[in-house]
Amino acid sequence: MSTWLKLVLRLERAIGGPVEAAVHSDAYFDVVAELNRGTRRLTDAVESVSKRGLHLLNLPAGTDVRRMREQLARMDRRLLRIAKELEQLEHARDAEPV
């Protein structure tokens, strides 16, 4: 192993050790959770304002598109479930003695 690589690896460990200790600590995860909540609250507030503006212009907002995508996905899943139930019923009918 060349000297420069040894140096880089040693340096990485010297920095990496404390960094890992920090990002594995309870405090870090508490901060991440709080930041996540904060970001969500902020996003909701901004989206609510922009939604109102866009709706005034009779335009769909990002949240509308998201909701529609969610509804479509739910419908797709429901169709899939129905198809599976149908398949099970057919299976059960085929298995019944004639």
Query: Which residue ranges make up the site for other proteins (CB under 8 A)?
Result: 1-2, 5, 8-9, 12-13, 15-16, 19-20, 23-24, 26, 29-30, 32-33, 36-37, 40, 66, 69-70, 72-74, 76-77, 80-81
Report the nearest approach of other proteins to the CB of residue 57 (Å).
23
Q: Which is nearer to other proteins, 2 or 58 (CB)?
A: 2
User: Cβ contacts of residue 62 below 8 Å, gap of 6+?
Assistant: 47, 50, 51
Q: Which is nearer to other proteins, 7 or 59 (CB)?
A: 7
- Indicate if the alpha-carbon torsion angle 76, 82, 84, 90 is positive or negative: negative
Report the nearest approach of other proteins to the CB of residue 19 (Å).
5
- Rounded to the nearest angstrom, the gap between the alpha carbon of residue 65 and the centroid of all alpha carbons in its chain is 17
Give the whole-angstrom CA distance, residue 93 versus residue 89: 6
Report the nearest approach of other proteins to the CB of residue 74 (Å).
8
- Residue 66 CB-half CA count within 13 A: 5
